[in-house]
Amino acid sequence: MQSSYATKLIDLIESKAEKIAKQWAADVMKHNRTPSYHPLRKDLVIEQGVNFYRLFRQMSLAEIPYEEAKNFSWRYAEEFYQQKIPLHEALYALILMRRHLWLYAEFQGTFVTALEKQQAVESLNRTILMFDYVSYQVTEKYQQLTVEAVNKKLGIVKTFLMGKLVGGLKNTYKVAFMAILIIAACILTYYNHTAGQVVVFTHLFYIPIILAAIWWGKKGVLVPIILAIVLVASHSIFLKNAPFVDDIIRAVMFIVIGLVVGWLMDSVKKMEEPYEPFKS
């Protein structure tokens, strides 16, 4: 008996899909909680509603309703993501879809008697389940689309920062490579200072400083500290008669830059944590 009432509701939804969708579209395109829908083409919004309401029979007949819902959910998410509809508005639009479905069924007297209304609980539960599936899948797809958009816009920079290039090296390799860079910086400093040259070669020091910040965040400040000590110590030994102020300023800037970039990288990593499941 219960399945007959579920079928009754599904038949109503399918036969009146366009009418219900028009009522939903009129509501969602003026509702104060869905302002992003207001400038959209009405036929586009109605089409989305029709597609959703006609999904019910497909889901009711499918062996795995959750998988059947994906066809609609992902298309719904993609289309409205392209329209720059925020996720919370897209989900509220789904809530309005459910509300209009049941309002229409009630106004049409689909379930007339008290007994029918009681038995219609099965239909209500199944409807809620379908909406739950779609809401979850839309949220999941929005997350994926967000990650893809960020990666596309930042391109190689995003790849670099996310650790798929130099960031993807094993920590042992990072330490070894950083040691080589620090030794090279020491040799460069020694060569220039012993030759009595006061040239601005220290710009090259920012290469290991930035890499250390990307790899280890604020912990990477140890590298600029080492380079600052090397620069100041070498100056005090080999350039006693040269002005000291410039190299002290450079040493301080090494540490400041290392801390700032390291702090930024730590912040980026924290922001990326919610999107980790969607990177693969």
d(CA 150, CA 154): 6
Q: Across all residues in the chain, what is the average pLDDT? A: 80
| 233 belongs to a structural domain | yes
| 160 belongs to a structural domain | no
Per-residue pLDDT tens digits for 160-212 = 554 444 445 578 888 999 999 999 999 999 988 887 765 668 889 999 999 99
Please indicate, yes or no, whether residues 251 and 115 belong to a single structural domain of this protein: no
Helix ranges (DSSP H) in 34-170? 42-53, 55-61, 65-82, 87-107, 114-119, 121-162
Q: Do 227 and 209 touch, CB atoms closer than 8 A?
A: yes
Q: What are the tokens at 148? A: 């893809």
**How many structural domains compose the chain?**
2
Q: Do 32 and 89 touch, CB atoms closer than 8 A?
A: no
Per-residue pLDDT tens digits for 3-47 = 455 566 677 777 888 898 999 999 999 999 999 999 999 998 999
Per-residue pLDDT tens digits for 8-18 = 667 777 788 88
Helix ranges (DSSP H) in 195-244? 206-216, 222-238
Write out the H or E segment, with its range, that includes residue 17. helix 17-28
| 99 belongs to a structural domain | yes
Q: Residues 6 or more apart from 200 whose CB is under 8 A from it?
A: none
**Domain containing residue 230:** 166-278
- Where among 93, 122, 154 does a domain terminate? 154
Per-residue pLDDT tens digits for 203-246 = 899 999 999 998 898 999 999 999 999 999 998 898 877 788 88
User: Does the model's pTM come out above 0.85?
Assistant: no
Per-residue pLDDT tens digits for 100-153 = 887 776 655 555 454 455 555 555 666 777 788 888 889 988 888 887 776 676
Residue 135 belongs to a domain with what CATH number?
1.10.490.70
- Where among 106, 129, 154 does a domain terminate? 154
| 159 belongs to a structural domain | no
Please indicate, yes or no, whether residues 145 and 184 belong to a single structural domain of this protein: no
Residue with tokens 């250390």: 212
- Where among 154, 180, 210 does a domain terminate? 154
Please indicate, yes or no, whether residues 30 and 120 belong to a single structural domain of this protein: yes
| 73 belongs to a structural domain | yes
